[in-house]
Structure formats: structure tokens, C-alpha cells
Amino acid sequence: MTTKTKATIARRGAMRMLAGGAAAASLPLWARYTHAQSAAPIRIGFQQHRTGIGAAYGRWYGRATEAAVKLINDGGGINGRPVEIVAEDDGTDPKRGAEVVEKFANQHKVDVGFGTLFSHVVIGSAPRAGELKLPYFVVSEGTHVASGMLNRYTLQPGITDVKSQVISMAPFITETLGKKVTMIFPDYGFGYNHRDALGPAIEAQGGEILERIAIPPTETSFTRYFPRIPRDTEVLYHVMVGPGVLTFVKELGEFFGGRGPALFGFIDSLEAVAMDSPGLEFLEGSHFWEGMCRHAQADESDHAAAYRAAVGVDARGAALSDPRDVSTYGHMFGCWETLHVIKAGMEAAGYAGPQDRAALIEAVEAMETMPDSLAHPQGAKRFNGRTHQVFGHQNVSRVESGRLIRVHRTSIEDTLYPDMVDYTAQPF
């Protein structure tokens, strides 16, 4: 059998498994696992940012993960086996991240690792996953996977990367807001992805970057950085992360007093923060990138609505149990979708245990299209098996009366860029 034929079989099998999950949910519990070759659960190591600067994301990544696992298990699990999540806190720290990966492999004996968000933690952890031959599914957005700096055991099939997001946003920025752009971004790998991608993308649209301002993600006060913004800036492009994001946007508003440049932000600057928080009135009329729209849109799909209900989030993106507990809705769908990719890959590969890890990776590499579905409620996607990176639609939302209203949605084609690596050429 040729490699191409094997890939086709794996791809078709993966799509069948995604489509068939809902039907299995109608079976009684006793019947869902009767055909499994083993009663042992599939163990997925969840590398969670419970503490550190990523704690808000880690908490909501956990809720999305729990909801996805419940749906998968209610539908019969993976290959007739229940899924078990083994969570470990990495403190949003690269060194601890590598230690968690090693603990997953050697102590917990998990089948795969999953869930890492902050790029410096991914970069610190992925090499160890490769050494241990542990499939490592990250939900990070960083371009470090697609750039080729990691290894064949590291994949990002559930969330798009910064480079694809930025190049698809650039035409909207220059055509709608202005061509003279100043950037504010976090001073670590994720921010550098923005720094490196935006310049060429804006210049390709006839614009220019006037200044690049890097701020430590652990910073708690930001006003001292703002005088570096050139006076002729037409668009202030901002993306900030960590516990100080609310302070960041409030101080930005106080500094400009409503007389500043147009604002284009990535929702990272306000993840886990309510849009109607006191002091954010100046954001009215500004624009944000969103991976998945936090506020329910008038045309929200049935799949997206079902996902929203499953993760326990209301129409404004807050917990149903506490409207003050605002989610990281623009990102956490990546956990839900990645877990469904793992399920589809394992079932296409006939995964039975660690001896099938390479087959699992090959099955995921063979995936191409991921249809809009309950498994992929953010929207249809295209997976590039060579670069281990998924591509999908991006959203631009405008703040109107304290609500995020989508005003632009890119095509998948808008987000594509030439391959920088072919992981499939690397040995296992």
C-alpha cells in the first residue's frame, strides 16, 4: 500500500469518526464501551496554567476540556474506551512545563500531552516531548510550531497561529483604520510573532510600522510606555496578556483621553475581562480580533450555540453560574476542537496504546479539511500536515454599546502562507 493510499484511508477514517460521535451518544452507558479491546481509559495529560500569568486562561481551558471530554465519553469515548484527563499545573513557566511533560510520560504514563497555551512554555516543553516520543498537542497560537523550530511530535490542530491571524487582519486595518501603525505587544515569544508578522503584512498593503513597543507580560503599570507612541500614529495595534490586562486598557484610555489614534486590539488584551467594566468606555468604536466571538452573534450557528451551552457560558461570554466570571472565549475553543482531533486521529489510526503513537501522528498529518460541526464549532478549518498547523476563519469585532459585534470574517484562504517546514520528512 502506498503512503498516499494510507494517508487517504486515514483521512477518510478521521472524518467518519468525527461525524459518527453524535450517534453513539444515543446508546445507553453500558453499551458504549462493550466493543473496546481494552477497558483501560485513554489518558490525556493536560498541561494546565493553573497559576502564573496564564491562570485565567488555564481555568477556562480546564472548563472547555471537561466539557469536551464529557461529550466524547457520553458518545462512547475513543475506540470504545473512556477518556481520562490527568492535569498538572506548569505555573505558566517553561522549566516547570518541561518537568510536567516528563511527569506525564514517566509517572502518569499518559497516551498524549495536551493543552499548553503560552508560547514560552510550549518552546520550553516541546523538545522534552520529542525526546520522550510523547505526542504533544498544543493550543497556543504561536507560530513556533509552523516555523519548524519544534519537532514532529508537536502539533497544533485546534487553533490558528499568529502569523495567519495577522496577515488576514492587515488588509482590514489599512483599508478601514489607517496605514501608519504603532504596535504594543508582550515581550516574549507570542509577542515576537506579532512583531515579526505584522510589519511585512502592513507593508504589503502600502502601510508602515512607526514604532514597536515591547512590554513585559508581568508588568502591572503601563503609562510610562505610552509616550513612545509617535504623534502621527493612525492605528495603535495592541495585544497584551497576563493579570494586568484591565489596567493596561484603562491606562491606555486615560493617556489618550478619547483623542488618540484608532485602536485595533487582539482580544487577548481583554480576555477574562468584561467589556462593560468601568473605565473601558473609551473602547467604544474600536476593533478587536477574536478567534471565536465572545458575545453571541445574531447568526450564531447551531454548533456554536451548542458549544456555548456545553461550556457553561452565557450570551456575553460569562459563566452561567456567575456573570462576573468572564471566559477566555476567543481561545478556549481550541481545547474542545483539539480533543476532537485527537479522538478522530486515534480512531483513524486504530490507536491501542503507546506503541501506536507514530500512527496517531501520521493519521492527524493526513487530515485536510475539518468541517464546521459540533467538533469544530468555531468554523471550518484546513489542516496542513506538513507544518502541523491548522488554518481557519478569523473575526474582527467592533465595540458597539459595550458589545462585540462582528463586522468582518476572513476566508481560510486569507490566512494561508508558504510552508516553512515539512515535519513529515522527519523520522520518529
Establish if 60 belongs to a structural domain: yes
> Percent of the chain at pLDDT above 90?
87
Establish if 423 belongs to a structural domain: no
Q: What pLDDT, in 10s, does the model give residues 197-248?
A: 999 999 999 999 999 999 998 899 999 999 999 999 999 999 998 888 999 9
Q: What is the pLDDT of residue 36?
A: 57
Residues 225 and 150 in one domain: no
Our CA angle for 376, 379, 383, nearest 5°, is 75
Establish if 93 belongs to a structural domain: yes
Residues 71 and 152 in one domain: yes
Establish if 402 belongs to a structural domain: yes
Residues 96 and 237 in one domain: no
User: How many domains does the chain divide into?
Assistant: 2
pLDDT band at 29 (very low <50, low <70, confident <90, very high): very low
Q: What is the pLDDT of residue 35?
A: 54
Establish if 133 belongs to a structural domain: yes
Residues 188 and 285 in one domain: yes
Taking residues 88-115, what's their average pLDDT? 98
pLDDT band at 259 (very low <50, low <70, confident <90, very high): confident
End-to-end, the C-alpha distance of the chain in Å comes to 20
Establish if 314 belongs to a structural domain: no
Residues 156 and 178 in one domain: no
Please give, one letter per residue, the 3-state secondary structure of the chain. CCHHHHHHHHHHHHHHHHHHHHHHCCCCHHHHCCCCCCCCCEEEEEEECCCCCCHHHHHHHHHHHHHHHHHHHHCCCECCECEEEEEEECCCCHHHHHHHHHHHHHHHCCCEEECCCCHHHHHHHHHHHHHHCCCEECCCCCCCCCCCCCCCCEEECCCCCHHHHHHHHHHHHHHHHCCEEEEEEECCHHHHHHHHHHHHHHHHCCCEEEEEEEECCCCCCCHHHHHHCCCCCCEEEECCCCCCHHHHHHHHHHHHCCCCCEEEEEHHHHCCCCCCCCCCHHHCCCEEEECCCCCCCCCCCHHHHHHHHHCCECCCCEECCEEEEECCHHHHHHHHHHHHHHHHHHHHHCCCCHHHHHHHHHHHHCCCEECCCCCCCCCCEEEECCCCEEEECCEEEEEECCEEEEEEECCCHHHCCCCCCCHHHCCC
Q: What is the pLDDT of residue 25?
A: 44
Residues 98 and 13 in one domain: yes
Residues 223 and 352 in one domain: no
Residues 248 and 350 in one domain: no
CB atoms inside a 10 Å sphere around CB 8: 13
pLDDT band at 338 (very low <50, low <70, confident <90, very high): very high
Taking residues 404-418, what's their average pLDDT? 98
Residues 54 and 11 in one domain: yes
What's the predicted TM-score (pTM) here? 0.91
Establish if 418 belongs to a structural domain: no
Residues 189 and 132 in one domain: no
Q: What is the pLDDT of residue 258?
A: 78
What phi and psi, each to the nearest 5 degrees, are found at residue 156?
-130, 75
Q: Which domain holds residue 275?
A: 162-290+397-406
Cα–Cα distance for residue pair 181/205, rounded to 1 Å: 12
| Domain CATH number, residue 55 | 3.40.50.2300
Q: What pLDDT, in 10s, does the model give residues 178-195?
A: 999 999 999 999 999 999
Residues 118 and 91 in one domain: yes
Establish if 413 belongs to a structural domain: no
Residues 204 and 152 in one domain: no
Select from 119, 104, 132 the least CA-distant residue to 47.
104
Whether the per-residue pLDDT at 22 is higher than 70: the answer is no
